[in-house]
Amino acid sequence: MTAIIEAIDLKKTYFSPFRRQRTEALRGVSISVKAGETFGLIGLNGAGKTTFIKSLLSVVRFDSGALTVLGGNPENPAVRAQIGYLPERLDLPRAFSARDFLRSVGRLKGTSDVDSQAQKLLNALGLSYRSRAKIGGFSKGMRQRLGLAGALMGRPRLLVLDEPTDGIDPIGRTEIRKILQEEKKQNGTTIFLNSHLLSETERVADRIAIIAHGKVVREGALQELCIQKKCWEVTVAPGGHVPQLMTTCGFVSAGEGDHRTWKRECDDAAEMNGLIASLISKGIVFEEFFHPFERLEEVLSNSLKEHPESVPPGGVQ
């Protein structure tokens, strides 16, 4: 599958001559994002996420490494024209109406059907009733919706979203997820997402990378990273002899007073199969067994514990 973003060993150091300070923002970041997928970049403040995004948009020039976006140089205007961007700190022209703002964005991108696209996006994002109102009177959530509409103008091949649901209520987040899913389905758009709302990232991302102190410490499919490979969870039919037999074989009840759901760590499936066979021979009836999943917050926390040297002392974003 074609790589829409291909970053190889990116490095970037900031210098502060007044403080005589040298800060490594990116310390050899390599990330590959495939066409049509939603890729989430997560990490603590100061991890290097913003610097990486600015490199994608050619706002920041990295010191060394290689980076291609949409198969070309991110500094190429033809490449930039195919990118839709929603920044974290959104500053919209307060004197413009929502419709005028989208029209101006469409003209800058060379969009042929500016008016019809603008109206369609205003409808989709629930802003059509305020299309002629001045942006200065919009709430934070409304400005965020309008910013997303601007990023979607011109049907970009790549969407770069920095905190896209910031300031938006839960219902609005659901609507935005649907819009992004539809954009992927209809236009094959690739989405690169940076968000502190990890529950939102879980809902939309196909793959993620965890970045800490300028280095990628884990990367992969969301399901692969969240699954607890050494832990098994089983559900058994109720019975008076269940607790004693399960406990004897090293299982731990998954909940207080729950004698149906049990957990146990095993090195591999063969060891678990042996335990299950032994318990079946003693009359235990198994209804299901599977690997439980961690929440993304837990994956991030555990990754940072595994790489304590990568936790930033503070500094760049």
- What residues contact residue 316 under an 8 Å CB cut-off, 6+ apart? 14, 23, 25, 46, 48, 50, 51
Candidates 195, 297, 289; CA nearest to 249 is: 289
The reported pLDDT for the residue numbered 195 is 82
Which CATH architecture describes the domain 228-290? 2-Layer Sandwich (3.30)
54-74 pLDDT, tens digit per residue, is 999 999 999 999 999 999 999
Strand order of the β-sheet with 158-162 is: 83-86, 158-162, 190-194, 38-42, 207-212, 215-221
Encoded amino acid at 14, one letter: Y
End-to-end CA distance of the chain: give it in Å, rounded: 31
How far CA 294 is from CA of 175, 195, 265, in Å, comes to 26, 18, 14
Q: Where are the domains of the chain?
A: 1-82+156-221+295-317, 94-152, 228-290
What confidence tier does 256 reach under pLDDT thresholds 50, 70, 90? Answer: low
CATH class assigned to 1-82+156-221+295-317:
alpha beta
What is residue 108's predicted lDDT score, i.e. its pLDDT? 86
Predicted confidence (pLDDT) at residue 8 exceeds the cutoff of 90: yes
Distance CA 93, CA 158 (A): 24
pTM of the model: 0.77
Task: Look at residue 316 in the predicted model and tell me its pLDDT.
Answer: 42
How high is the pLDDT of residue 260?
85
- The CA–CA distances, whole Å, from 268 to 232, 246, 250, 289 equal 10, 18, 15, 14
- Average pLDDT for residues 225-241, to the nearest whole number? 80
For residue 312, pLDDT over 70 is answered with: no
The per-residue pLDDT for range 92-111, each reduced to its tens digit, is 989 999 999 999 999 888 88
